[in-house]
Amino acid sequence: MDPRRSIPVSLFFTCLADAFYPRTAFAAVEVLERFGATVRVPLSQTCCGQPAFNSGNRKEARAMARKFLLSFPGDGYIVSPSGSCAAMVKHGYPVLFRDEPRTLALAHAVGERVYELSQFLVEVLGVTDPKSDFSGKVTYHDSCHLRRGLGVVEAPRTLLRAIRGVEFVEMEESDRCCGFGGVFSLKYPQISCRMTEHKVERIVATGASWVTSGDLGCLMNIDGMISRVGYPVKAIHLAEILAGGPAEPAPGTAGKGTP
């Protein structure tokens, strides 16, 4: 990658980052700019429509999808710190607009421009050294949509292993669902809770101080269980680790608060 080249990128920051975790969006911008991106943030963007889509409300999902398509004009890259939301645009929109040829063509064109953050850094920009420092033992959770929906497995691991100060350790069943699943956790709370307990048990077994992922929904769900039980581990989005993140949690404070 030529460091002198300006790479146009639009940040698709997602609802969860906007409402609960803005620092994840700021971290994503910091990392993208570090590697030559000129980042614009379309303020007209709202929800991508995934909750409505998953609930079977196709009319509302289509309305949100249309707004999204209009919010990201042009031909530059669209990068998001969410595999779940990126997968919705790439795979959900063609389903929503399969009977509308003109909008379907636009949906395909926009979908080809959408990347999850780690995927973009590694596969498009060719980043092998994230030029980051972060202190701590870190494990990684594969979100379902990022791994299965986008096929992104190695990119986040490539970055984590290259960060100075990170001791990366794999957890068992890293690709097993954390139990969030958006509306799934609302419809089936008992099943969801047990799945989350199983996931957190695997995280704790690694001895890691931090668990990271490419989806805030997963991290919010995992951190909720960690906080309630008081496990000595804290959830943090990959973008924040890449941006430098917080210091190693002090004894007795890990697991408190949100990612």
pLDDT digit string (tens) for 110-126? Answer: 999 999 999 999 999 99
Instruction: Tell me which of 3 and 36 has the higher pLDDT.
Output: 36
Q: Say if residue 249's pLDDT is above 90.
A: no
Q: Assign 4 a pLDDT band (cuts: 50, 70, 90).
A: very low
> What CATH number has the domain bearing residue 56?
3.40.50
Domain annotation covers residue 41: yes
What residues does 116 pair with on adjacent strands?
Answer: 80
74 and 174 together in one domain: no
Instruction: Identify the domain containing residue 198 by its residue range.
Output: 129-242
Q: Name the token pair of 218.
A: 């997963």
User: 11-54: per-residue pLDDT in tens?
Assistant: 999 999 999 999 999 999 999 999 999 999 999 999 999 999 99
Interatomic CA distance for residues 29 and 35, integer angstroms: 10
Predicted pLDDT at 180: 82
pTM across the whole model: 0.90
Q: Strands (DSSP E) along the chain, which ranges?
A: 7-11, 37-40, 77-80, 114-116, 133-140, 164-168, 210-213, 234-237
Proportion of the chain in helix, strand, coil states, percent, rounded to 5: 50, 15, 35
Interatomic CA distance for residues 161 and 63, integer angstroms: 41
Domain annotation covers residue 234: yes
Q: Are strands 210-213 and 234-237 parallel, antiparallel or unpaired?
A: parallel
Q: Assign 246 a pLDDT band (cuts: 50, 70, 90).
A: low
CA dihedral 113, 119, 123, 127 (to 10 degrees): 120
Q: Say if residue 1's pLDDT is above 70.
A: no
